[in-house]
Amino acid sequence: MSEVVIEVGDRPIRDVNEDIQAACKPGAHLRIVDTLSRHNLGIGLPPGANIHFEGSVGYYCGGLNTGSTLTIERNAGWAVGEGMADGHITVDGYAGMSVGAAMIGGTIHVKGDTGPRCGVAMKGGNIVVEGKIGYQSGFMAHSGKIIALGGAGESCADALWEGEVWVCGDVKSLGVDVQVVEPTAEEVAEVDAILEPLGLKDTSRDWRKMVSGQRLWYFESRDASAWLMI
């Protein structure tokens, strides 16, 4: 199938997204040019298409993705892949705050650092960050894995539910109700299986696995101080 080229420029985003949706057939290859860091590009994409964004994109790129493969050539603004259900998003540079917010499936791979609250309220899927994750990443993550290869900022994994945050490198500080546990060999193998297709598997890594301490799961009014710390 031949490549489809779609120009963004100063066109209305609704028109751009309608063109992208119309071209997103299974197996289709799309090249989105002149992105100008515009917001809300490639929303609600269907399964099976491959979309390459030349340059940087703004907020919410790839939000609500249901199965397409997206590559962002440079940087991404806030909330890349928010609410995505399936598919794969690669950001070749930096990604802003709230990467993968509320996502329920698929994989987001950021080759640089991310801003604050990476994986906030995520409910499934995986986020792999080759650099450092920002302040309060993993906040209230219900499920899924955040895997950071370059360390983490302050208040890491704050108020986790059943999500997991895996960090290789320095962690500036832990969030509220976080428990650091020694992963089992089977759990490390699961993480390696996520990293291997990305060319990032390294069995020599010293992982820090963070899970919920479960103090906030059983809240009582007499223990209000725990919630006031969030």
Q: ∠160-100-230 over CA atoms, to 5°?
A: 30
Q: Are 146 and 164 in contact (CB under 8 A)?
A: yes
Report which DSSP code applies to 198.
G
Which sign, positive or negative, has the C-alpha torsion 189, 194, 199, 202?
negative
Q: In the chain, where are the structural domains located? A: 3-228
- pTM higher than 0.85, yes or no? yes
Please give the C-alpha separations between residue 71 and each of 13, 99, 117, in angstroms, as whole numbers.
19, 15, 22
The residue among 156, 198, 152 whose CA lies nearest residue 176 is 156
Q: Are 136 and 117 in contact (CB under 8 A)?
A: yes
Per the listing, tokens 């991404």 go with 76
Tokens representing residue 48 in the block: 């099976």
SS3 assignment, position 14: helix
pLDDT score recorded for residue 216: 78
pLDDT score recorded for residue 224: 59
Tokens representing residue 56 in the block: 């940087």
Q: Are 81 and 71 in contact (CB under 8 A)?
A: no
Please give the C-alpha separations between residue 138 and each of 82, 101, 104, in angstroms, as whole numbers.
14, 9, 14
Question: Chain centroid to CA 181: how far?
Answer: 23
pLDDT score recorded for residue 215: 82
Show pLDDT as tens, one digit a residue, over the chain (230 residues): 689 999 999 999 999 999 999 999 999 999 999 999 999 999 999 999 999 999 999 999 999 999 999 999 999 999 999 999 999 999 999 999 999 999 999 999 999 999 999 999 999 999 999 999 999 999 999 999 999 999 999 999 999 999 999 999 999 999 999 999 999 999 999 999 999 999 999 999 999 999 999 987 776 655 656 555 55
| Topology at the third CATH level for domain 3-228 | Pectate Lyase C-like (2.160.20)
pLDDT score recorded for residue 171: 97
Please give the C-alpha separations between residue 139 and each of 95, 158, 171, 211, in angstroms, as whole numbers.
17, 5, 15, 11
pLDDT score recorded for residue 2: 81
The residue among 95, 182, 183 whose CA lies nearest residue 131 is 95
pLDDT score recorded for residue 217: 77
pLDDT score recorded for residue 144: 98
